[in-house]
Structure 1
Amino acid sequence: IDARLNITPVRRGCGSWECGCGRPHSLPFRVVGHCGGVEVHLIPGPRGLGLVASEVAKILLSLAGVKDCWTRSYGSTKTVPSFAYAVFDALKQTYRLVTPEDWGR
Structure 2
Amino acid sequence: NIVPIRRGCGSWECGCGKPHSVPFQVEGKCGGVRVVIIPGPRGLGLIASEVAKVILGLAGIKDCWTRSYGSTRTVPSFAYAVFDALKKTYSLITPMDWVR
Q: What number of residue pairs does the alignment pair up?
A: 100
What TM-score does the superposition give when structure 2 sets the normalisation length?
A: 0.99
Structure number with larger C-alpha Rg: 1
- Whole-angstrom CA distance in 1 between matches of 2:10 and 2:63: 10
**Distance of 2:15 and 2:92 partners within structure 1:** 20
RMSD value over aligned CA atoms?
A: 0.5
Q: Distance in 2 between the 1:20 and 1:44 partners?
A: 12
Q: Which runs of 5+ in 2 are unaligned?
A: none
Partner Cα separation in structure 2 for residue 79 and residue 40 of structure 1: 13
TM-score, normalised to structure 1, is 0.94
Which ranges in structure 1 are unaligned for 5 or more consecutive residues? Answer: 1-5
Percent identity reads 79
Structure 1 consecutive aligned stretches of length 4 or more whose deviation exceeds 3 Å: none
The separation in 2 between residues aligned to 1:89 and 1:13, in whole angstroms, is 18
Structure 2 partner of 1:42 = 37
- Name the residue aligned to 2:84: 89
Specify the alignment match of 1:65 in structure 2.
60
